[in-house]
Structure 1
Amino acid sequence: MQAKKIPLSLLTAVLFLIGSNAVADEHMGYIEKRAVPVKLKTAAVSKPKRTLNGNMTLHYNVLPPSVDNIYDMFSKGVFYGRIRLNSFYWDWTDPLYPNKAPKALGIGGSLIYKSAILNHFGFTLGYYASMNPYFFRPDADEVGFAKAGKDTFSRYKVATGGGFGLYTPGQGFLEYHNGTVDVKAGRQLFESVFTKSNDTKMIPNTFDGISCTLKIAPKTAVRAAWFGWQKLRDHEKHHDVITFKDGSGSQYGKWNNNDDSGGHKGLTYDNFVSAGKNPNHNMYVADFKSTYIKNLKCIASYLQIPGVLKDAVIEAHYKVPVSDTGWAVRPGIRYFMQFDDGGGEVAGNSNALGAKLIGYDSSVNGSLDSNLFNGRIDVLMPDKKGFFRVGYSKVADEADIVAPWRGFPTGGFTRAMAQYNWFSNTETMMIRGVYKFNSTWKASIRYAVEDYDNTKPVPADASIVNIDTWINITKDLQMRMRYGHVVADANTPSVTKPGKFKPDWSYDEFRLEFNYLF
């Protein structure tokens, strides 16, 4: 059995005994200096308080100042607002996928408050909301058919009579920072190779626990974190970091714990209990990142969920300038290793989709051991105008990769929108181009070919086209349009239903998003 989880109240009390003047970068990296230490009420601040990154996460340009009394700690804090709209429409090709719940719309946003810094301490509070107008949402009895738009509401809440709409504290943490060490305790975003906020819908994916970043050299940092709970984007309350389904026995219990599509449906609450294991888990994450060597970015990462699995990842990217032309070539690799730590016994004879281990090597029954190789080559344009990319990934013919924390093991290499291409023995090729036409318009197109192992109960092979555009209407208002076109092999024999074919999961998907920051 595992050790009990540490109460956050105790962790917060410990932090107060330690004793910032700055906030760590919101993404994985070394600790940065305070962005804009200015008087916020003057007209001198021309930069927006925050700007959107390409993945729809936020970069803070303006942060609260340091103060010397408790009154100013509150009065000189900064509010950050975000109004957003996310709309979705999709159409399945195969009638086996009934076109129920083809549309979804979320309207809402967030209000985040960051206090000023007193004696190296500060805090952040963030509240998020997503409302679903009746004219563009699924019927309550069809929420189980919702695809990408499901993250604008909670399927569990709707199915159990709670209605549409999501209202939840998305962030709430105490922070200590002294220029070298940054510690956060509470509900927070944690961007790593395993865990991401994945803030492309209405509410980010967050984690409850404590994290620490330590700057050990110029442009070099190490991090460590303990998380006792996760809160996925379509949940109002936190839940376990890996257990699928709750222990209620309800048919809707599958939506009331870690129901992320990248998880393992054999790691259920009941299976943990039947195996004599604790269904409530701790997650430990550590990583090292350095950009100290010019043009080289290297990362080493580790994750463990005791009693379930361990992950280790090494990643490196090296930029090679092409003479004085402004062009550059940047090759990169990511090698992902997954080690069983007792989870294979719990999952038993089931794969990540909950199907029997047909077509898998016999060693997979009772083990989650596996690995994944990613490689890519980028051609970078002058003046950061864009890039061309060729990416490749291959999963070992062992267990499926388990990744329900929105980090996406193939992300940045071969993952296309809404795709999960890390099942056993899956091979993917992708080409992508991104171009910034001017200061207001950027576009991306990518084409991927996913070659699944058709002897296993996993999806049929498919090709995917994604087109994205970002239009900055003003410095505070952005519109993003996304289109996905999937063509699956409709003639792939089923391995679970002899004489029939695997489902044709071809579809078209349209997304329209607006973001206004203030």
Structure 2
Amino acid sequence: MKLVKMSLIAALTCGAFVAASADDAKPKRELKGNMMEVYNVLPGTANSITEAFTDGVFYGRLRMNAFKWDWKDVDSDNKAFGIGGSMIYKTAAYEGLSATAGLYYSDSPFESLRQDEADIGDTKAGKDTFSRYNVFTTGDWSMASLAQAYLQYDISKTSVRVGRQIFESFLTKSNDTRMIPNTFNGLVVANKDLPQTRIRGAYFLTQKLRDHTTFHDPLTYDDRDTANKSQWNGNDDSAVHKGLSFTNFKAAGEDTEHDLIVVDLQNKSIENLQVDVTYGGVPGVISSLTGELNYKVDLGDGYSLTPGVRYMKQFDNGGGEIGGACLKGGLAGQTGNVDGYKDAASLDSSLAMARLVLKKGPLKAQIAYSAVEDAADIVAPWRGFPTGGYTRAMAQYNWYANTKTTAAEVKYDFSKAKMVPGLTAMVRYAMQDFDEAKQTAGVQADSNILHVDLIEKFTPDLYAKVRVGMVNADDRVGSTDKDSYNEYRFELNYLF
């Protein structure tokens, strides 16, 4: 394992020096504000299998993440640190066939910048810099993962991918803001034959979360051996439904292995109008249908106003009876009105939201509102946050039943305004109104969140990002303040 670590570090470092000496006018890749990758340079076509490999392109990335959580009234302050990077290789296409492989590495080598091994369970957002399961079982604070490895076939306006891959959709995202992205193993087909329309279908067998080195079931919470932290080696996403567990599926005589299906459509046939429709489902457990409309209105003088609405309907296909209506899992096997949930055995629910986005040049301002039906919590443990882009603030999960959120944000590109080269700033304020009657089931208290992002792009290849989140929450009913904290994050990325 030490040899693997040294080889990975050496390869990444050498690649960085080679890239630094190159004089490319346009970077091969860029990063969005959410750290999603945008490829500017892709391999072309090849005349032979040999050329497919010799004409391929390497994409390197060195990265560092540091985290600090300061809880107000809870003695569980925590910190995390990760350093590492990735090497992605894409072949050129031969007869429409190409391949991609992505090797990722992360390490937390400094004891002073991480939790003690006995306290790794307290680590919050920064847990994705290492694998808690690996630390607990072997004491290894490093991660190496072949998170991407797929074949791609392109013909006309249809593209097919098979294998481990990133799939950005309403429900599924790479959420690549740590060290290793969230990826899925399966089949994706995309087609653009219809004018101004993209249709995609995905069938995933397994998922690998950001702090894991192995792929696992996309839904089942592994509670077979919690004393030995089996849950940290399965779907232990922060938004996982713990009632949809291995034990509960087994007790109900149901399969413990599941597949995830996502089908989406995006249409821009009407000028200034974007229509998005997404179906997502785990057969025999749960499904959802989501529609979204965004219409851009030109206000003149460079201003535009875009109203947007999104509605998600969640259907119980058998999962409610097995796992219950609450994501925390405490309602499994119960019926009727329990802990504020009107039907403890049903996952039928819905989520509605709306926003107004004002833009002019470097300025973007937005107000938004979301409301979850007073029924069941929304099930979406695939890093595509249901309220993302509307009311979700950093590290917050506001899709519990009967939760209402109002949010406002302002983003300003100082570089585009020719004021400070490379600097972008974003400030968001969100007011979250949770249902106090559901706190006994694990739902948090009402809170206000101030969230600030600062991104500095020093060069086309070097990015620094500072994130601050300050949460001021009420006391929980009959208890103390368990939900107030300040969080600080710092991230560096170098692309080559």
TM-score normalised by the chain length of structure 1: 0.87
Which of 245, 248, 267 in structure 2 is aligned with 1:290?
267
In 1: Cα distance, 2:282 partner to 2:197 partner: 26
Equivalent residue number for residue 57 of structure 2: 78
- Matching of residues 9-24 of structure 1 within 5 Å: none
Task: Report deviation, 1:355.
Answer: 3.0
Equivalent residue number for residue 509 of structure 1: 487
Equivalent residue number for residue 271 of structure 1: 248
Residues 1:481 and 2:481 are matched in the alignment: no
Instruction: Give the residue type in structure 1 aligned to 2:495.
Output: L
Which of 330, 351, 354 in structure 1 is aligned with 2:326?
351
- What count of residue pairs does the alignment treat as equivalent? 462
Equivalent residue number for residue 460 of structure 1: 445
Residues 1:399 and 2:381 are matched in the alignment: no
In 2: Cα distance, 1:368 partner to 1:419 partner: 21
Equivalent residue number for residue 422 of structure 2: 440
Whether the 8 Å CA contact 1:396–1:425 is kept in 2: the answer is yes
In 2: Cα distance, 1:62 partner to 1:440 partner: 21
Residues 1:181 and 2:161 are matched in the alignment: no
Change in 2 beyond 3 A, CA 1:481/1:361: closer
Flag structure 1 segments of 5+ consecutive residues without an equivalent. Answer: 1-39, 494-499
In 1: Cα distance, 2:263 partner to 2:145 partner: 28
In 1: Cα distance, 2:76 partner to 2:215 partner: 31
Task: Report deviation, 1:157.
Answer: 1.2
In 2: Cα distance, 1:51 partner to 1:361 partner: 45
Instruction: Give the residue type in structure 2 aligned to 1:261.
Output: S
Instruction: Give the residue type in structure 1 aligned to 2:141.
Output: F
- Secondary structure of the residue aligned to 2:436 is coil
Task: Report deviation, 1:217.
Answer: 2.3
In 1: Cα distance, 2:213 partner to 2:239 partner: 20
In 2: Cα distance, 1:73 partner to 1:279 partner: 41
Task: Report deviation, 1:245.
Answer: 1.6
- Secondary structure of the residue aligned to 1:456 is helix
Residues 1:123 and 2:102 are matched in the alignment: no
Task: Report deviation, 1:218.
Answer: 3.0
Equivalent residue number for residue 3 of structure 2: none
Equivalent residue number for residue 334 of structure 2: none
In 1: Cα distance, 2:298 partner to 2:447 partner: 35
Q: Deviations over 1:231-288 (max 9, x none)?
A: 0000000011110124345441121211111111111100000000001001111010
Equivalent residue number for residue 4 of structure 2: none
Which of 328, 337, 340 in structure 2 is aligned with 1:360?
340
In 2: Cα distance, 1:249 partner to 1:514 partner: 35
Equivalent residue number for residue 336 of structure 1: 312
Whether the 8 Å CA contact 2:285–2:319 is kept in 1: the answer is yes
- Secondary structure of the residue aligned to 2:494 is strand
In 2: Cα distance, 1:297 partner to 1:366 partner: 36
Change in 2 beyond 3 A, CA 1:202/1:368: same
- Secondary structure of the residue aligned to 1:273 is helix
Instruction: Give the residue type in structure 2 aligned to 1:328.
Output: S
Whether the 8 Å CA contact 2:471–2:484 is kept in 1: the answer is yes
Q: Deviations over 1:2-51 (max 9, x none)?
A: xxxxxxxxxxxxxxxxxxxxxxxxxxxxxxxxxxxxxx9xx995210000
Residues 1:449 and 2:431 are matched in the alignment: yes
In 2: Cα distance, 1:361 partner to 1:116 partner: 54
Whether the 8 Å CA contact 2:225–2:231 is kept in 1: the answer is no
RMSD of aligned C-alpha atoms? Answer: 1.5
In 2: Cα distance, 1:516 partner to 1:326 partner: 34
Q: Once structures 1 and 2 are overlaid, which stretch shifts more, 235-244 or 133-142? A: 133-142
In 2: Cα distance, 1:196 partner to 1:280 partner: 21
Task: Report deviation, 1:502.
Answer: 5.2
Identity of aligned residues (%): 45
Whether the 8 Å CA contact 2:372–2:400 is kept in 1: the answer is yes
- Secondary structure of the residue aligned to 2:437 is coil
Equivalent residue number for residue 198 of structure 1: 175
Whether the 8 Å CA contact 1:459–1:502 is kept in 2: the answer is no
In 1: Cα distance, 2:349 partner to 2:226 partner: 31
- Secondary structure of the residue aligned to 1:234 is coil
In 2: Cα distance, 1:502 partner to 1:238 partner: 38
In 2: Cα distance, 1:45 partner to 1:255 partner: 42
In 2: Cα distance, 1:44 partner to 1:128 partner: 26
Whether the 8 Å CA contact 2:307–2:355 is kept in 1: the answer is yes
Whether the 8 Å CA contact 2:341–2:438 is kept in 1: the answer is no
In 2: Cα distance, 1:89 partner to 1:107 partner: 15
Whether the 8 Å CA contact 2:338–2:344 is kept in 1: the answer is no
In 2: Cα distance, 1:202 partner to 1:243 partner: 24
Whether the 8 Å CA contact 1:269–1:279 is kept in 2: the answer is yes
Whether the 8 Å CA contact 1:92–1:506 is kept in 2: the answer is yes
Equivalent residue number for residue 106 of structure 1: 82
Whether the 8 Å CA contact 1:360–1:397 is kept in 2: the answer is no
Q: Deviations over 1:469-489 (max 9, x none)?
A: 110111100100000000010
Equivalent residue number for residue 34 of structure 2: 55
Q: Deviations over 1:379-432 (max 9, x none)?
A: 111x3x121100100000000001100000000000000000000000000000
- Secondary structure of the residue aligned to 2:380 is coil
In 1: Cα distance, 2:194 partner to 2:30 partner: 28
Q: Once structures 1 and 2 are overlaid, which stretch shifts more, 119-128 or 502-511? A: 502-511
Whether the 8 Å CA contact 1:181–1:215 is kept in 2: the answer is yes
Instruction: Give the residue type in structure 2 aligned to 1:442.
Output: T
Q: Deviations over 1:69-121 (max 9, x none)?
A: 11111111000000000100110001xx3235x21111001100000110000
- Secondary structure of the residue aligned to 1:118 is coil
In 2: Cα distance, 1:503 partner to 1:238 partner: 36
Equivalent residue number for residue 152 of structure 1: 129
- Secondary structure of the residue aligned to 2:438 is coil
Residues 1:423 and 2:423 are matched in the alignment: no
Equivalent residue number for residue 303 of structure 2: 327
Flag structure 2 segments of 5+ consecutive residues without an equivalent. Answer: 1-18, 332-336, 416-420
Equivalent residue number for residue 238 of structure 2: 261
Whether the 8 Å CA contact 1:360–1:398 is kept in 2: the answer is no
